[in-house]
Structure 1
Amino acid sequence: MNFRTIILALTVIAIALLAALNWTALTTPSQVELGLSTVQAPLGLIMLALTVLLGIFFIAYVLALQGSVLLETRRHSKEMHAQRELADKAEASRFTELRAVLEAQHQQGQNALMTRIDALEAHWQARALEMENSTAAYLAQLEQQLRVSRPEV
């Protein structure tokens, strides 16, 4: 138990014990001054009733305060949950955007690579055709030289 709760419980027990032990003194009628008039009533019982009434008001105040705190906590919790959902959606959106950017960069890189491969392939085909033509020209030249050097029989 909390230290304050123990002190409060001991105070209530002390008041109840004191009232029980002195019940006859509390219920003894006496002159009670009410400001404009005087009344014959047990002063101790009136004071005890006012103490109980004060305790009831105190408990009602504490319960109302605790209820308002609980409602405020619940509202705050809902707001935090909404903010958390917004943050999660924003993070998911950032991931989606990052994925789109990465896919676009990947596609650009792949397109650049395919363009370069196509250019290299065209270059190698041109080079192969050039070498083929060059080889054919050399062979034709060699055949012509062979014909010139060897008369036809």
Structure 2
Amino acid sequence: MLLLLVLAGTAAFVTLNWGAVITPVDLSLGVGMVKMPLGLVMLGLLLAITALFLVFVLFLQTSVLLETRRQAKEIRASRDLADQAEASRFTELRSFLEAEFAGRGAQKGDSGASQAAVLERMERLEQGLRVLIEQSGNGLAAHIGELEDRLEKASVLPVDRR
């Protein structure tokens, strides 16, 4: 943008001073003298430098684009490699988990017999507890009945005559 602005300013200056630009003058080339318009010589040098600058900018832009493309290929290759490594880790994790679950299943199969024994023992304890509760309930009812009889004999409690 700045380059275009400078070129537009130069073109305006040359247009406004065209008479002075094409006026011939004696120019020294170092080995001889030449009669040429100094403005046209300077304008030609400006255009040549501008063309060289544009070629340099195009060269830099092209090299940057090529470098960007090369880096993009390297990044894509690295990403593919990382994806493959991650997929490999997932596969290893899956096989490890399957082996662990298989091992746990085998242990569970072995402990299935001990688990059945524990359940059977718990059932026996529960039945024994039921019998004990029933016996203590019967014993408690007998004690209450005995206390009621004693209290009736002592005439402390009113007799229910139903």
The answer on 1:8 being equivalent to 2:3 is yes
> Aligned partners of 1:99 and 1:58: how far apart in 2?
61
The one-letter amino acid of 1:85's match is D
What SS does the aligned partner of 1:92 have? helix
The partner residue of 2:70 within 66, 75, 83 is 75
Which 4+ runs in 1 deviate beyond 4 A? 118-121
What SS does the aligned partner of 2:31 have? coil
Cα RMSD after superposing both structures? 1.7
The partner residue of 1:61 within 56, 65, 72 is 56
Aligned to 1:130: none
Structure 2, gaps ≥5 residues long: 119-162
- State the Cα distance separating 1:30 from its structure 2 match: 1.0
> Aligned partners of 1:75 and 1:37: how far apart in 2?
53
The one-letter amino acid of 2:4's match is A
The one-letter amino acid of 2:40's match is L
> Aligned partners of 1:35 and 1:44: how far apart in 2?
19
- State the Cα distance separating 1:120 from its structure 2 match: 6.2
Q: TM-score, normalised by structure 2?
A: 0.68
Aligned to 2:32: 37
> Aligned partners of 1:50 and 1:78: how far apart in 2?
42
Higher RCO, 1 vs 2 (CA within 8 Å, ≥6 residues apart) = 1
Aligned to 1:108: 103
> Aligned partners of 2:90 and 2:64: how far apart in 1?
38
- State the Cα distance separating 1:117 from its structure 2 match: 2.1
Identity %: 44
- State the Cα distance separating 1:93 from its structure 2 match: 0.7
Q: TM-score, normalised by structure 1?
A: 0.71
Give per-residue Cα distances to partners, 1:35-86, cap 9 Å, x unaligned.
1222111111011000001001101110110011011001101111110111
Structure 1, gaps ≥5 residues long: 125-153
Aligned residues: 118
CA radius of gyration, larger in: 2
The one-letter amino acid of 1:113's match is K
The partner residue of 2:44 within 41, 49, 55 is 49
